[in-house]
Structure 1
Amino acid sequence: MYKKIFSHTAIYGLAPQIPRIAGIFILPIITQYLTEVDFGVYGLIVAVVGAMTALSNLGLNVVLSNSFYKSPMQHKWAWRQIYGFLILWQIPYTIMLGLVIYFIIPEEAAENTWLIILLNTIPVVLFGPTSFLCAKYYQLQERPMPIAIRSMLIGFLSIGLNIYFIAVLRMGYIGWFLSVSIAQLCDQISYWIPLNRKFKLTPIFNFKRSFIKKQLKISLPSVPHFYSAYLLNTSDRVIMKFTNVTIANIGLYNVAGTVSSVVQSGVNASGLAIGPMLLKAYKNKDERLARNIIFFLQTIVLFGTFLISLWLKEIFFILIKNDSLQKVYPLGIILIMGYNYRPMYFGANTRLFYYEKTKDLLKVSFIAGLSNVILNFIFIPIFGYEAAAYTTFFALMYMGYVGYFLKAYKAHCTLEYHPLKWLSITLLLSAIVYYLVEIPVIYKICISVILILVLIFLLKKMIIKF
């Protein structure tokens, strides 16, 4: 089992991260031709589009996963009907997306309003939920390689386009939007062929309304849950605009998240790897295996984020060739350590998904997202854009651990996961690394070697439990 966790996490996480990491290393090339305003405009629009993405599938991924495991002989019929429904849903969704972008675009980008809207909506209009459905099908089949190959190829395509549009043609933030739009179109095309031809998951437009209504009753309560993830990760940029933070400072905050976004993607990818394993463990009533998987992943993530944060000052000074953009690495540490919430979050909330307790998810994710928004409105006007990193960290910790205290969770759990102990460790390590980042490099090397040896020792002990 541990080998599958390593291999699938490597394929889901590391393979797609190769172009992302390569993308970080092109920062010295493109940051010479970008300003705080470019980062601000792009970060703000990406935040808005990310928030809207939660509405694109109406939470039906919950139904897709459950039908795959609970109705193995009939799941394709269900998937095809959902496919047809979601394609029709993309019409009003695209209109809403375009309107939101129109009203949120800052003055600095007003001259390119319609181009930005077009570049962000074309992939949705032409292909709708195609890539989402096909990637989900591969994941549930525990076949990460097709997803990883596409992620790598599309990632490298995006990198090449970024260099061309930003460094060669000097198009600024428009170069980013062009790159993303072209890359998304290629990604959708690559998934359309296997989804419709190989898996025969063609859309049924004459779907049974009673069936869709039944599925929506299950899925819609989870929409605020998925939407809250975007409230946590991206709402801060939008709130900054409404609290009169300058586009330049929004850009600085976006720079702070350049490395943390890669860490976030890697941690989220580990969830794709362990998700099917946890569902199987729940199905087989193997609680000990489920807990071992969570503890194993949480240990790796804690050590990994600590080491990255320890070296973040040096990473920023190497990659960011812009003096005004280099100074925000302390905020990057807060954001990176915040993503330690994710493994323990999987432990509680995957169970709630499996037992279709989607309404209880609101107590976890929606409150976390709402608290982040409220705290941002309170503290950003007082302490500036830097406050957003700390409010996000607080909300992520809540989201990662509160699920263990819900009645719906306790009703289906027979083993203790020790959430308060893991939370205390995360808070302690976050405080320590925030100050250690300033120590001399020679001490950082010694600490890193010791931590890697300790990690190897702990993982060996955990592997025995599998």
Structure 2
Amino acid sequence: MLKKLFSHTAIYGFAPQITKIASFFSLPLITQELTELDYGIAGVLTAYTSAIAVFSFLGLRVVLVNSYFKSPKQFKWAWRQIYGFLSIWNIAYAFFLGALIYFIVPTEANDQRWLIVLLHIGPIVFFGPTSNICSTYYQLKQKPFQIAIRSVVFGILTIVLNVVFIANYKMGFMGWFWSSFIVGVIRNLSFYYPLNFVLKLTPIFNFKWRLIKSSLSVSLPMIPHYYSNYLLNSSDKMVMDVSGISTGNIGKYNVAYTVGRFTNNLGSASGLAIGPLLNKFYKDNNDMAASFLIFILQVSFFMITCLLSVWMKEIFYFLLRNETLSQMYYLGIIIVMSYNYRPMYFAANSKLMFSEKTNILWRVTLGAGLVNVILNLILLPIYGFEIAAITTFVAYIFMGYSGFSFKVFKQLTNANYYPLIWLFITLILTILVYLFKDFTISNKIIISIIFLLVGTFAIVAFNMKLKEIT
């Protein structure tokens, strides 16, 4: 089980990280051609477009997953109808997305307004939910290579195009948008053929409204849940824009996420890997095994985030060949450590999702998002853009641990996840690595070795317990 967790996480996570590593090495080439305004324009557009991104799939992924496990012989019939419905819905969604982009493009990018709109909505209009449905199928079939190969190929292509457009053709922020458009089209094409011709999952446009209504009754409560990702990851930049924070300072804050995006992607990859394993334990009513799997993942996150944070200053100075931007490493530490919420988040919410308690789930995630927005609205005008890193940390902690307080969760599980202990460890480690940020190289090496030894010992101990009960 441990081998499958780490191997699938490695495949889901390491494959895109190959491109992330390559992207890191490309940063010295492109950052010298970019300014905080470029980062700011991209950050503002991402913030606003992310605000409605959750509506593209209407939360229907939970229906796809549940039908796969609960109706293994009939799930394709339901998937095809959902595919048809979403294909039509995505045309309307693209229209609203385009209108939003048109009105919120920063004044510094007014000359490119229509082109920015077309580059964002093009792949959605032509391909709709194709890539999401096909990648979900491969994940549930536990075929991570199908997703990983695409991550590597298209990730590297994105990097090459970014270097060509930004470093060679001096296109600034537009280089990112052109790269995203080109890769988005090709990526969707790579999923379209296997989904429609190999797997025979063609869309049924004459879908049964009864099925769609039943599916939406389960999925729509998930929209506030998924919307929380926006409220936590991107809304801070929108609030900065509304609060009058300059585009340049928004760009600095966006740069602080350079390593944070790596950690976020790792969290997403671990979710793809651990999801089917947890669902199998839930199906077998083995919650104890699920808890030890979560403990292993939590310790792994501590090791990775602590090592990244200890060396954050050196990472930023190597990657960002811009004196102003590289100084944002101290915010990067807080952002990276905030992602330690992930394993505990999986523990509580995967059980609720498997049990289709989606009317409970959204309260946790949306509540965390609202905490982030409210704190930003109050504190940003007073303390400036840096405070957004701390509000994000607080909101993530809320989202990761509040699910354990619900009575329904306690009724659904017979395992103890010890959330208060893990929360205490998270806070202590965050304080420690922040204090270590300016230590000498030799001291950082010693600290890193200690983290690795303690973490490895804990993982081995938890894995022995897991083997005893499976």
Displacement, 1:21? 1.7
List per-residue Cα deviations over 1:31-73 (Å, max 9, x = no partner): 0100000000111112222232211100000100000000011
1:111 paired residue number? 111
Paired residue for 1:66? 66
Deviation (angstroms), 1:13: 0.5
User: Aligned partners of 2:238, 2:101: CA distance in 1, in Å?
Assistant: 11
SS at match of 2:42: helix
TM-score of the superposed pair, with normalisation by structure 2: 0.98
Tell me which amino acid in the other structure corresponds to 1:48: Y
Would the aligned equivalents of 1:21 and 1:262 in 2 still touch at CA under 8 Å? no
Amino acid at match of 1:126: F
Contact 1:316 1:329 (8 Å CA) reproduced: yes
Map 1:182-331 to 2 at 5 A: 182-331=182-331
> What is the CA-CA distance between 1:257 and the residue it aligns to?
0.3
- Partner Cα separation in structure 1 for residue 96 and residue 83 of structure 2: 20
Q: Verify the 8 A CA contact 1:243 1:380 in the aligned structure 2.
A: yes
Cα shift at 1:136: 0.3
Alignment deviations for residues 385-414 of structure 1 (CA, whole Å, 9 cap, x no partner) = 111111110000000000011122111111
CA distance in 2, matches of 1:20, 1:326: 18
Is 2:120–2:181's contact at 8 Å kept on the other side of the alignment? yes
Judge conservation of contact 2:331–2:386 (CA < 8 Å) in 1.
Answer: yes
Cα contact 1:231–1:370 (8 A) shared by 2: yes
Which amino acid in 2 is paired with 1:440?
T
Q: Deviations over 1:173-198 (max 9, x none)?
A: 00010001111111100011111111
1:458 paired to 2:453: no
1:410 aligns with: 410
- What's the CA shift string for 1:406-435, capped at 9, x where partnerless? 122111111110111101110111011111
Q: Is the 8 A contact 2:306 2:451 kept in 1?
A: no
Instruction: Kindly provide the amino acid, as one letter, of the partner of residue 231 in structure 1.
Output: L
Residue 137 of structure 1 corresponds to which residue in structure 2? 137
Partner of 2:45: 45
Partner of 2:345: 345
Q: The residue matched to 2:412 in structure 1 has which SS?
A: coil
The aligned residue for residue 373 of structure 1 is 373
Alignment-mate amino acid for residue 450 of structure 2: I
Superimposed CA distance per residue, residues 282-339 of structure 1 (whole angstroms, 9 cap, x where no aligned partner): 0000111101110000000011101100000010111100011011111101110000
- SS of 2:206's partner is coil
Which residue does the alignment assign to 1:440?
A: 440
Q: Unaligned 5+ residue runs, structure 1?
A: none
SS of 1:340's partner is helix
SS in 2 for 1:148: helix
- Mind listing any 5+ residue stretches in structure 2 that lack a counterpart? none
Aligned-residue CA RMSD (Å): 0.8
| Structure 1 residue runs of 4 or more that deviate by more than 6 Å after TM superposition | none
* Structure 1 residues 378-417: aligned runs within 5 Å: 378-417=378-417
Query: Partners in 1 of 2:96 and 2:62 — Cα distance?
Result: 23
User: CA–CA distance in 2 between the matches of 1:456 and 1:410?
Assistant: 30
1:373 Cα deviation after fit: 0.7
Of 98-107 and 203-212, deviating more is 98-107
CA–CA separation in structure 1 for the residues paired with 2:226 and 2:430: 26
**Residue 334 of structure 2 contacts residue 389 of structure 2 at CA under 8 Å; is this kept in 1?**
yes
Equivalent AA in structure 1 for residue 453 of structure 2: L
After superposition, the C-alpha distances for 1:8-43 in whole angstroms (9 at most, x for unaligned) are 000000111110121111110000100000000111
Q: Distance in 1 between matches of 2:104 and 2:407?
A: 40
CA distance in 2, matches of 1:217, 1:67: 14
Higher mean C-alpha deviation, range 101-110 or range 387-396 = 101-110
Q: Counterparts of 1:62 and 1:407 in 2: how far apart (Å)?
A: 22
State the alpha-carbon separation in 1 of the partners of residues 268 and 46 from structure 2. 18
Contact map agreement 2:264 2:339 (CA 8 A) in 1: yes
2:171 is the counterpart of 1:171: yes
Q: What amino acid sits opposite 2:377 in the alignment?
A: F
User: If the length of structure 1 is used for normalisation, what is the TM-score?
Assistant: 0.99
Task: Measure the CA separation in 2 of the matches of 1:133 and 1:191.
Answer: 9
Q: Hey, what's the Cα distance between the residues in 1 that align with 2:104 and 2:282?
A: 43
Distance 2:102 2:342 in 1: 33
Could you tell me how far 1:230 is from its partner in structure 2?
1.0
Paired amino acid for 2:337: M
Contact 2:40 2:249 in 1 (8 A): yes
Residue 449 of structure 1 deviates from its aligned partner by 1.3
